[in-house]
């Protein structure tokens, strides 16, 4: 299996496809995530058609996309070989779901996160789909079996869960239902790689998918350490930023262990029992609520007051952009 850095390097050539022979992709729902998907597909030379039940959302989406494409260009992060204008022109909008889906090879649903909404939209898509098109949901947490079982085209349905913001966080989690055709999963995986994302494939459904489960496991331990008054909120932040994060920006936990000993097996032979003893001391997590949550917020607002959240989000996105740029440069220089 290719590591994601290799997949990305090969993608840079693939995204140079000319405007001719364009393949159509449909985006259903033009909110925060629908817009991001539209930009990702347009950057790789796809013809993108966006549908929304709310016309004003479509107009706002086009304006936002143009602004974001210009921002990416100014930061040297515009993907692919097409100009801002060419990418922007590749994205059209429609108020007809049938027109949106017609002739598409891939549909990416991006409507609000409720089972009822996903069921409703997938039922509509099922009635419009031909036998080839793959129907993906952007769902963050709802497994596909909850809304695709009754469909005629259910073998073509899966979840393709992006991480926000997808331009800087390239992971896409592919979650098949028990009845999803493996070829549909592989085709989606190849498609995601071809647009510069880093797909992973789940072998079966699991609550919370993968990245959120890992994130929640880290958060559970951080909350426990603060709840048990072992350490302050600010020092937990330092432990993660200065301890865990630097390596995790470019290698995962298994490779980290592999390099910290004479291979992964040696690592577990030498440190496995110690790690297991610590893991056994993890108590069952309890929700971070009430006085403890208020106390933690009082601490975090000392350096990020609530009224400063918008500026701090911009600060975060600038750093994410800088990190994405550095990783692109490193990936390309180590080809």
Ligand X SMILES: NC(=O)c1ccc[n+]([C@@H]2O[C@H](COP(=O)([O-])OP(=O)(O)OC[C@H]3O[C@@H](n4cnc5c(N)ncnc54)[C@H](O)[C@@H]3O)[C@@H](O)[C@H]2O)c1
Query: In terms of CB distance, is 5 or 140 closer to ligand X?
Result: 140
Is 138 a residue that touches ligand X (CB under 6 A)? yes
In this chain, which of 112, 178, 252, 305 binds ligand X, going by CB under 6 A? Answer: 112
Taken in order 211, 212, 217, 220, the sign of the CA dihedral is positive
Residues paired with 134 in a beta bridge: 106
Exposed e or buried b for every residue in 198-216, given b needs 16+ CB within 10 A? bbbbbeebeeebebbeeee
The span from the CA of 107 to the CA of 193, in Å, is 16
Q: What sign does the dihedral 327-330-332-335 (CA atoms) show? A: negative
108 binds ligand X (CB under 6 A): no
Residues binding ligand X: number (CB under 6 A): 23
In angstroms and rounded to an integer, the radius of gyration of the C-alpha atoms of the chain is 22
Compose the 25-54 pattern: x for residues touching ligand X by CB under 6 A, - for all others.
---xxxxxxx----------------xxxx
Among 82, 111, 177, 321, binds ligand X (CB under 6 A): 111
Residue 316 contacts ligand X per CB under 6 A? no
* Residues between 146 and 205 with contacts to ligand X, criterion CB under 6 A: 161-162, 164
In the complex with ligand X, which residue's Cβ is closer, 133 or 257? 133
Is 179 in contact with 153 (CB distance < 8 Å)?
A: no
Task: Name the residue number minimizing CB distance to ligand X.
Answer: 31
Pick the stretch among 135-143, 170-178, 209-217, 281-289 that binds ligand X (CB under 6 A).
135-143
Work out how close the CB of 58 gets to ligand X at its nearest, in angstroms, rounded to a whole number: 8
Q: Any contact of residue 126 with ligand X (CB under 6 A)?
A: no
Residue closer to ligand X by CB (options 66, 169) is 169
Question: By three-state DSSP, how is residue 26 classified?
Answer: strand
Nearest-angstrom CA–CA distance, 243 and 265:
23
- 57 is a site residue for ligand X (CB under 6 A): yes
Cα distance between residue 64 and residue 16, in whole Å: 24
Binding residues for ligand X, rule: CB under 6 A, are 28-34, 51-54, 57, 110-113, 121, 138-140, 161-162, 164
């Amino acid at each position: 299996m290719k590591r994601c850095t290799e997949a990305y390097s090969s993608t840079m050539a693939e995204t140079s496809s000319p405007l001719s022979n364009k393949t159509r992709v449909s985006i259903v729902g033009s909110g925060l995530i629908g817009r991001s998907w539209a930009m990702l597909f347009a950057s790789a030379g796809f013809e993108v058609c966006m549908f929304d039940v709310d016309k004003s959302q479509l107009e706002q989406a086009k304006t936002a996309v143009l602004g974001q494409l210009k921002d990416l260009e100014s930061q040297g992060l515009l993907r692919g070989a097409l100009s801002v204008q060419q990418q922007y022109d590749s994205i059209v909008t429609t108020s007809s779901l049938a027109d949106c889906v017609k002739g598409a090879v891939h549909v990416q649903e991006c409507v609000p996160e409720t089972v009822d909404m996903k069921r409703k939209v997938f039922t509509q898509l099922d009635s419009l789909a031909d036998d080839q098109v793959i129907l993906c949901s952007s769902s963050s947490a709802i497994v596909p079996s909850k809304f695709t079982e009754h469909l005629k085209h259910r073998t073509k349905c899966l979840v393709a869960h992006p991480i926000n913001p997808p331009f800087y966080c390239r992971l896409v989690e592919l979650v098949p239902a028990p009845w999803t055709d493996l070829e549909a999963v592989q085709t989606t995986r190849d498609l995601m790689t071809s647009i510069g994302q880093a797909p992973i494939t789940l072998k079966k459904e699991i609550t919370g998918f993968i990245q959120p489960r890992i994130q929640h496991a880290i958060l559970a331990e951080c909350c426990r350490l603060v709840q048990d008054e072992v350490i302050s909120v600010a020092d937990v932040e330092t432990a993660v930023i200065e301890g865990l994060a630097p390596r995790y920006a470019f290698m995962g936990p298994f490779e980290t262990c592999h390099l910290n000993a004479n291979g992964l097996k040696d690592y577990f032979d030498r440190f496995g029992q110690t790690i297991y003893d610590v893991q056994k001391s993890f108590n069952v997590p309890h929700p971070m609520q009430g006085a403890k949550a208020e106390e933690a917020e009082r601490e975090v607002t000392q350096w990020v007051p609530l009224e400063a959240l918008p500026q701090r989000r911009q600060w975060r996105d600038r750093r994410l952009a800088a990190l994405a740029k550095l990783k692109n440069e490193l990936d390309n220089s180590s080809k």
